[in-house]
Every structure is written in structure tokens, then in C-alpha cells.
Structure 1
Amino acid sequence: MRLLLSIVALISTTVCAPVQPIQTLDFSSYGLSQRADPSLTNYLGVFFLGDKPSVYLYLSNGNNAISLKALNKGNPVINPTKGTQGVRDPSIIAGGGAEAGKKWYIIGTDLNIGKTTWDASQRTGSRGIFVWESSDLVNWTNERLVPVEDATAGMVWAPAAIWDPSKSQYAVFWASKFYAASDSKHTGTPSAIRIRTAYTSDFKTFSTPKDYVNYSPTNIIDIDVLPLGNNAYARFLKDESAKTVFTEVSTTGLFGTWTRPGGSKAIIEKGVEGPASYWDNQVDGKAHLLLDFYGSDGYHPYNSADVRGGKWSASDRSAFPKNLRHGSVLPVTDAQGKALNAKWPA
């Protein structure tokens, strides 16, 4: 209603050319996910720290999207006990549908690289996803390791998820490569790494997975999806073959037609991985993107006022911690921020 009144006011004050402002502003693409939200006053980040495969929580300093402080005095909040007893690439997912505002999930890769090698972890690695859940963002329980791929998969890496209102379920994504069914020990040549997807209502049972992004022979290992509103989405992918992160946009849903702003060679940055995107709490249409400089000092923040156009620029990193690795960020309320500070003091 407030948006409608704003449009009416805009038209009434533009006497000479009443139609032009509406054409310029393109309200058809102005979805709820792009609006600033005064009820959100902090940002909660979940990360791992290089050779420390546990979940670390970070909270913003006030409502600054790129200024974070370590919670729990810099100690991990979640230490996995199942699988390899190591978790990488944690992603925090807000509940959708009946779980909205009542449930949150953290999912991650089951991989402790200190106990294996990079080659072995891709040939005979874990085929499951780590899951923890919470009803308050403070206490994380019900650890489980849920298999999602069959024996032909070499690994399941970097899971991410998003609530899909068209299905009233969570769409889950991860990266896998595959071996021939006859190659039970996975000693042969695998497929290219591709992004896979499945649906779930509870992160306990998953639908049969299928390919989501298969750009063979290019290897794609990381994905993050940002809702743009009105059934439009941006997704961010790592080209493992070229070691770059690029973006694609769909205006026809998660399984619609995806295009690459700027053309087939356009990238956001090189030498990076683990894209993590989130909207700004205070500025309409402003988004943030973290890119992990895995060969250097971890995440650097980027920002955009034109996500659809794929236009990103580096942000001021002076207040952003160094050495944070592939994770995700969730905007939270003042009450949630205070509860996190009380439970896990900085």
C-alpha cells in the first residue's frame, strides 16, 4: 500500500511528463527482498576459518553490513561430531512458510581436510550434508549428516539452500562429480563438477537430486542464490576451471532461463570462491557479496545497486575481519542480535 501511495504521489507531482518516472523506476522488478527493512538492525555471519573446520559466528557492529565481530570470544559455536568431524562452507538458511521466524538451519560440507587429501576428498569423499537447526538463532541442535547422492558421486561440497515459495519447500544446491557405475573405487576419470539440486521440507529427507548447473567440461563448484522479488533471482557461481566468480539472472524462477549480465565472459572477480550474497538492511536495492580470496586472506566484501545488471564494486574492507572463509550472512533483528551477544559474548 505504501509503495502504491508513493507511485501516486510521484505521478501527481510530475505534471509535464507523468508517465516517464514509472518507466524509469521499473517497479515491476522492485520485489520485497530488495527493500530496506527497519526491523532488521544487525547481520549474523557463519563461517569457517581455514584449517579450523568448525562453525564460527560473527555479528555486525550495529547495522553495518561490512563490519563484523567474532562471537563466543572467537571460539567455534558448532563443532561437528559426525562424519569427518570437520565442517566447511557453512550456510545459514531462514525458515520459510510455516517455519518463517520460527526455525533456522545451518548446513555445510562434511570435510576435514587434515584427515585426507584434496584428491581423495573428491574421489571418495562424503556424500552427505551436515545439518543443524535452531528455533532462536542462539542454540544449535539436532546435528545430522544426511546422504543426498548415491555411490557414483565422488563428493558433496558447499551446500546452499533457499525457500522456494512456488513449491513451499527448500531448494538445496551442492557440487558433485561422478564416476561410472562400474568404477566402484573411483579410480578412473570423473565427470566435470556440476551443481546439483533437490527439495526438502525438513532437511531430513530429500527428493531425488538432479543437475541444476552442468556446464561441462567447465567445473562449477560453488553457488549462492539471491531472491530479487517477483520470481526473479540472481545466482553466483565459481568457475573452478578458470578460478573466477560470475553471476547469472533469471526473471522466470529458480528453474527458468538464466542469462549472464555482460555476456558469456563477464566475471565479478578472479582468484575467488564461496560467493555469499545478502541485501542491505537500510538502503533499498543495495546488495552485498562476499568473495573468498582462498589463496590469500579470505573474504572481501563487494556491493551493488544493480544486481540484475551484474555491476559489482569492491567495498571498504577496513572493518571486515580477515581470514573468514566460505560462509554466509543473514540479516537479523535487534532482539536476535542482543540474544546472540548475551549467549555468545564477543
Structure 2
Amino acid sequence: MTASHFLLAYFLSETLADGEQVRFAVSDGPEPTSWTPLNQGRPVLPSTVGELGSRDPFLVRDEVRGTFAVIATDLRVWPDEDWNRAVRHGSRSIVVWQSRDLVSWSPPVLREIAPAEAGNTWAPKAFWSNRRDAWLVFWASALFSPGEERRAGQYQRILVAETTDFVHFSPARVHLDAGHDVIDLTFLEYADRWYRFSANAHGNPAPAGIGHHIFEEAGQNLEDPYFEPLTFDIGKSVMARAEGPATAAHPFEPRWYLLADEFGLRGYQLFETDDLSSGGWSHRPDAAFPAGARHGSLLAISSEERARLLAASWPAA
């Protein structure tokens, strides 16, 4: 596969009746700066399982099996926006779709991956581990003691489980416990280093006012316990706040992209760098995303795959 464009999976605001459903858009060129929404911006993978909503969709190209997957948060907070319930008594499953061509998808299924003590299972993302010969699926959960009434909140930790087929998963284990909220973990790999991005709260109150934007670190592998901080607040000079990072590499050039969701305000903003190890990212104010797009993922696709997506018939609702 020769990559030339991007596929964006995203969802919209929980203030909309159909906002918490998976949507697709394809880039108009080799940079993620302008987009053509598929299905006229309507959902392409509506969830009919669990909480009947799907947020934070993550696209996976499984080259070993010749398949694709979308994994997403099983959550719908429309119309009451009851976040208290969502973080204490939310779903312990993720929603999974699989496909061989990005157009014909299996029905959505629930896969329970979080332990019984989890209050939520948010923003799942999958990365291939050569060391384990398996996909490592990362997500955020608040963890409670057995029998706890869950009246008080708990901070979000990052958990991880293994899978080879997105059907069977190993028992979850804690990947990152920072003692404060860390959510939306994602990675980029380049030159034998892994770069880790997250919405990292840095404690409450946050030291020196940091912690309301995207955090970048570098490590030797996905499970390195000693990731080195590179920058604390990407985009702070141009955004009021940010979470939901999504990352990708340019198809042809040594350049990398970071989408950061200025949630509740302008939505996705685009940043780029030609040196991942520097921690320096430049804002691309010329980038225009589908209206309201938030908390998604980018997948490099070929021109043939793009053409197939544009020609596909999608559900009417």
C-alpha cells in the first residue's frame, strides 16, 4: 500500500442526538488540512449496542490479517449529559467494527476489556507490539475499590490489554498511574523511539499552571516505564485547552502531524513538526476540519482506497 491521503474517523458534540456516532472524512491531499466528509457528514458506523453511542473512534490497519478495525468508547451522554454516571458506572466495554476494505463493515460488537473495578472505559487506541507479537490496546479508566459506593470520584489511569484479533483480549493491567488524570493516550513511532501523547492533568492544582493541553514524551518502546517528558503544553499559545490528541506521519516527507481538540470551543486544531524529538510544534491555522469534528484518529490510505471510500454507499441515518 502506497499512502497518499488520510482517512479521519471522528464524532461530534454530545449536545446533538446523533453526535456520538462514528463519522468518516477523507483528506483532499497528502496533508490533513482539508477534508471531504463521507455520507454528507452523517454517521457511517452507528452503534446499536451497549449505550447506543460511540465516541473517540480509532482506526487500525492490521497488515498481518489484511483487515481494518475501528474501536471506540461505548458511551452516549445525550441528552442528559450525566458525566457523574459515565465516570462511576459507565461501560467496561469498547465497541468494535471490522472490515476488509474500509467500506463493508461488520455489525458493531461489544468487547469487555476493563476490570470490574473500572468506572469507565474511555478512548481506546491500539498499537502493534513486535515484542509481544500482538496489538496493545490502551484506554483510560477510573478504578474503584471492590464494594465501594463510588460517591467520590477517582482519577483516570491508563490501562492496557493485548489482542491479536480484536475479539479476544488478555486481562487488563495498569500501564500508567500518574496519581492524577491522564486520558487519550496515543503514540507515534520513528527511528526506534516511541513518542507518547496524552491529555495529562499534572495534578490539581497543576504546578505552574500546566496541564490543560497535550503532553509529549519519548521512550524506547510502547511499554517503557521511563518515558522522558519533551513538552508539557503543546498549543497553549493558541488554544484555551486541549485533549483528544490524534497523530500521523506525512505520506512522503519527514513531517508529523498532531490534532488537538479544543473541546467546547473550536474543536480540532492542527500542529506539525519536522523533529519529533524537539517537542516543538507549529500551529497550522489554515487547516479546516469537518464542522464540529473531535476526538478521532487518522489513518494513512492509498489513492485507490480513497476513491473506494468516496464511491461507497453509506447508511442514510
Structure showing greater radius of gyration is 1
Q: Which residue of 1 aligns with 2:67?
A: 103
Q: Which residue of 2 aligns with 1:294?
A: 263
User: Structure 2: how far apart are the matches of 1:300 and 1:331?
Assistant: 19
User: Structure 2: how far apart are the matches of 1:341 and 1:282?
Assistant: 22
User: Structure 1: how far apart are the matches of 2:153 and 2:197?
Assistant: 24
Instruction: State the Cα distance separating 1:222 from its structure 2 match.
Output: 1.2
Aligned-residue CA RMSD in angstroms?
Answer: 1.6
CA contact (8 A) 2:212 2:233 kept: no
Q: Which residue of 1 aligns with 2:207?
A: none
Cα 1:182–1:247 shift into 2, 3 Å: same
Instruction: State the Cα distance separating 1:310 from its structure 2 match.
Output: 1.2
The one-letter amino acid of 2:182's match is I
Instruction: State the Cα distance separating 1:178 from its structure 2 match.
Output: 1.1
Instruction: State the Cα distance separating 1:321 from its structure 2 match.
Output: 3.1
Instruction: State the Cα distance separating 1:75 from its structure 2 match.
Output: 1.2
Instruction: State the Cα distance separating 1:239 from its structure 2 match.
Output: 1.6
User: Structure 2: how far apart are the matches of 1:296 and 1:166?
Assistant: 40
User: Structure 2: how far apart are the matches of 1:158 and 1:151?
Assistant: 18
The one-letter amino acid of 2:88's match is R
User: Structure 2: how far apart are the matches of 1:104 and 1:202?
Assistant: 10
Aligned ranges 1:83-98 → 2 under 5 Å? 83-96=50-63, 98=64
Residue of 310, 314, 325 corresponding to 2:283: 314
CA contact (8 A) 1:138 1:340 kept: yes
Question: Which secondary structure does the structure 1 equivalent of 2:86 belong to?
Answer: helix
The one-letter amino acid of 2:266's match is D
The one-letter amino acid of 2:269's match is H
For each residue in 1:217-275, what CA deviation from the matched residue of structure 2 results, as whole angstroms up to 9, or x when unmatched? x2111111111142x1101010245322110001x21112310115xxx3213410000
Q: Which residue of 1 aligns with 2:9?
A: 46
Q: Which residue of 2 aligns with 1:68?
A: 35
Q: Structure 2: give runs of 5+ residues left out of the alignment.
A: 204-210
User: Structure 1: how far apart are the matches of 2:287 and 2:246?
Assistant: 19
Question: Which secondary structure does the structure 2 equivalent of 1:247 belong to?
Answer: strand
Q: Does 1:171 align with 2:166?
A: no
Name whichever structure is richer in helix by fraction: 1
User: Structure 2: how far apart are the matches of 1:316 and 1:179?
Assistant: 41
User: Structure 1: how far apart are the matches of 2:221 and 2:62?
Assistant: 19
CA contact (8 A) 2:22 2:46 kept: yes
Q: Which residue of 2 aligns with 1:225?
A: 187
Aligned ranges 1:116-127 → 2 under 5 Å? 117-127=82-92
Question: Which secondary structure does the structure 2 equivalent of 1:261 belong to?
Answer: strand
User: Structure 1: how far apart are the matches of 2:235 and 2:29?
Assistant: 28
The one-letter amino acid of 1:237's match is S
Residue of 178, 199, 218 corresponding to 1:238: 199
Q: Does 1:274 align with 2:244?
A: yes
The 4+ residue runs of structure 1 with deviation greater than 6 A are none
Residue of 195, 200, 207 corresponding to 2:170: 207
User: Structure 2: how far apart are the matches of 1:226 and 1:341?
Assistant: 27
